[in-house]
Amino acid sequence: MAKIIDGKKISQEIKDEVRAEIERDGIKACLAVIIVGEDPASQVYVRNKKTACEYCGIKSLSYELPSETSEKELIELIDKLNKDNEVHGILVQLPLPEHIDEDNIIEAIDPAKDVDGFSRRSVGALSIGSDGFISCTPAGIIELLKRSGVEMAGKECVVMGRSNIVGKPMAMLMLRENATVTVVHSKTRHIEDVCSRADILIVAIGKPKMITHDYVKDGAAVIDVGIHRVDPETNGGKKLCGDVDYEDVEPIASYITPVPGGVGPMTIAMLMKNVLKAVKRR
């Protein structure tokens, strides 16, 4: 029986800490959130980010742009927000429509306002261990592990997935915590054997319920970054599942994150922390 890592509770603690500091020190913080187009999932994320800002006492500015918005127009808006001293953080919700180059947009954001931690400057700072904004999902996973008492130093950690937003920064962060880190991906050979060595297995592969007990060592801590909408009839009445087959893995793991209520809520809590950091760094 695994201990369940309660991301809802831990994310609430973090938002409460941010809110208390903002209230105590009379801090004025402002996050600009930009969304282009009408992707329903992105609209939900953006709405949740605005709600969290309100809770923490952070002002949020909202820019909802039509999907035909050009790259130039978007960069002009970012430039305006870069120059606005009232704005501390700028977040452009991804993915963007295909005619807009995401890399150009991320690089247009002033690094001092890059609260998503996606820019080259932020990623570079993380790689060399200097201070900077850290991508919210992997930063949230570190908080989950620390606040649940999972030791990282000296442990074997396997990160499944190598995306710029999760897998790569996750590996860097685990290295910073003195874990021994392996990254596996679609071309990795004997992937089950490699994963079965992990004391801490972090799964961000985007495949519903792919990870069964065959990938997991007895007593491992298992962190599930995936979230998928599935047919409740074939999933024991549940509408959502992760990359991990929870029912199959939970009996042999020492710690496990549920979906929903594990990693998901942490991303927004860490965004709030990054906005506060942007204010304090200035």
The residues annotated with a catalytic role in the active site are 49, 93, 116
Angle at 139 between CA 134 and CA 144, to 5 degrees: 170
CB within 8 A of 245, min separation 6: which ones? Answer: 209, 210, 211, 212, 213
Per rule CB under 6 A, count of chain residues that contact ligand GUN: 7
> Which of these segments, 12-20, 59-67, 92-100, 197-205, binds ligand GUN (CB under 6 A)?
92-100
- Residue selected from 4, 61, 94, 150 as contacting ligand GUN according to rule CB under 6 A: 94
Best CA proximity match to 149, nearest among 268, 17, 10: 10
Distance, in Å, from the CA atom of 127 to the CA atom of 169, rounded to the nearest integer, reads 8
Q: Smallest distance from the beta carbon of 107 to ligand GUN, in angstroms?
A: 14
Among 109, 92, 168, 135, CA closest to 270: 135
Q: Which stretch binds ligand GUN (CB under 6 A): 8-16, 68-76, 85-93, 192-200?
A: 85-93
Kindly state whether residue 31 participates in binding ligand GUN, applying the rule CB under 6 A.
no
Is 116 a binder of ligand GUN (CB under 6 A)? yes
- Cβ contacts of residue 2 below 8 Å, gap of 6+? 222, 249, 250, 251, 252, 253, 254, 255, 256
Q: Binding ligand GUN by CB under 6 A: which of 32, 74, 91, 184?
A: 91
Phi/psi at 14 (5° precision): -65, -45
Shortest Å distance, C-beta 227 to ligand GUN = 10
Query: Closest separation between CB of residue 271 and ligand GUN, Å?
Result: 7
CB nearest ligand GUN: which residue?
Answer: 94
Our CB check for ligand GUN shows the closer of 2 and 91 to be 91
Quick check: 69 binds ligand GUN (CB under 6 A)? no
Backbone phi and psi for residue 210, each to the nearest 5 degrees, phi listed first: -70, -30
**Residues of this chain that bind ligand GUN (CB under 6 A):** 91-94, 116, 136, 267
